[in-house]
């Protein structure tokens, strides 16, 4: 799950929790919205952690310096 899917899940969950006033027998829409927001937040955190390990938030770069000894002619 990527960052965009996580944000969509959070948005849909927020809409279901706070904007929808309809009732469905057997399903609590508010609970479904909260579950979607929790899953989206967990996915967002995991995506950011894995992105960091791939180099997305790299604060330093590893450089390799090659030194060649050349004799003057």
Q: How large a percentage of the chain has pLDDT more than 90?
A: 53
Highest mean pLDDT among 20-24, 38-42, 53-57: 38-42
**Is 36 inside a domain boundary?**
yes
**Is 48 inside a domain boundary?**
yes
**Is 69 inside a domain boundary?**
no
What's the structural domain count of the chain? 1
Q: Residue 18's pLDDT is what?
A: 95
Q: Residue 54's pLDDT is what?
A: 62
**Is 72 inside a domain boundary?**
no
**Is 59 inside a domain boundary?**
no
Q: What is the residue range of 17's domain?
A: 3-54
- Long-range contacts, stretch 44-53, CB < 8 angstroms, 24+ apart: 44/3, 44/6, 44/7, 44/10, 46/1, 47/1, 47/2, 47/3, 47/6, 48/3, 51/3
């Amino acid at each position: 799950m990527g960052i965009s899917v996580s944000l969509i899940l959070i948005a849909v969950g927020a809409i279901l929790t706070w904007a929808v006033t309809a009732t469905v027998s057997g399903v609590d829409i508010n609970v479904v919205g909260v579950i979607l927001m929790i899953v989206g937040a967990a996915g967002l955190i995991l995506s950011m952690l894995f992105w960091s390990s791939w180099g997305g938030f790299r604060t330093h770069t590893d450089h390799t310096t090659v030194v060649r000894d050349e004799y003057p002619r």
